[in-house]
Amino acid sequence: MSSDVPRPIVEYFEQSRVALALAAAEGDNHLVLVNTPFSRLTGFEPEDVVGRNCRLLQRDAANIEPRARLREFLARPTQPNVRTPIVNFRKDGTPFVNLLYMSRLRSNEGETRYIFASQFDVSRSQPELLAEYDEQLAATLGRLAPIAGDAGIVVEGTLLTIANSAAIVAQAKMMLAGLESTPDA
């Protein structure tokens, strides 16, 4: 399924240390590529998720606000990126709060080719680890740009860095504690 993703982008995803995913720009944005850190984080192998929409990670969590934010981004081609915590579940059913970043990869002509995403478990992190992930994601986006550029693809949206990682981590831990104390979680 990742066969039409330019080879250098596939290879770049493979050697990245942060969780990355790429989805089709059209239709229901099915996944076309996920890397090894994504599988380590979510428990889902590429064969489990490629061809499907990544909302499967949400199971039956309501996620009203974060989903509205993500849908707004997807519906507005002029919005460069979005970043939101969202409740997700690993393949084994363990819940976590995913700090999801999304932006677009466009053709030189401006047409959206893929939706780019990165995931991070902010609910089991420490503020220093979140700050480190942020740096790695910024570096990943920076290094991806010339690689994608060679394949005629523009990486859009500079990273919205997290100003207060301690507050985000604390909030995510509270969200997770709330989930784990409910009988259905």
Shortest CB 26 distance to ligand FMN, Å: 11
Q: Is 87 helix (H, G, I), strand (E, B) or coil?
A: strand
Give the separation between CA 138 and CA 17, rounded to whole angstroms: 12
Please identify, using beta-carbon distances, which residue of 120 and 165 lies nearer to ligand FMN: 120
- Closest distance of CB 63 from ligand FMN, Å: 7
Cα–Cα dist 155/176, whole Å: 32
Shortest spacing between CB 55 and ligand FMN, in angstroms = 4
What residues have CB less than 8 Å from 169, skipping those under 6 apart? 122, 123, 125, 126, 127, 130
CB nearer ligand FMN, residue 71 or residue 76: 71
Q: Is the CB of 5 or the CB of 115 nearer to ligand FMN?
A: 115
- Which of these, 90, 106, 109, lies nearest to 98 by C-alpha position? 90
CA distance 60 to 136: 31
Q: Which is nearer to ligand FMN, 98 or 165 (CB)?
A: 98
Which spans of this chain sit near ligand FMN (rule: CB under 6 A)?
A: 21-23, 29, 53-55, 57-58, 67, 70-71, 74, 86, 88, 98, 100, 102, 115, 117, 119
The least CB distance from residue 118 to ligand FMN, in Å, is 9
DSSP state of 98: E
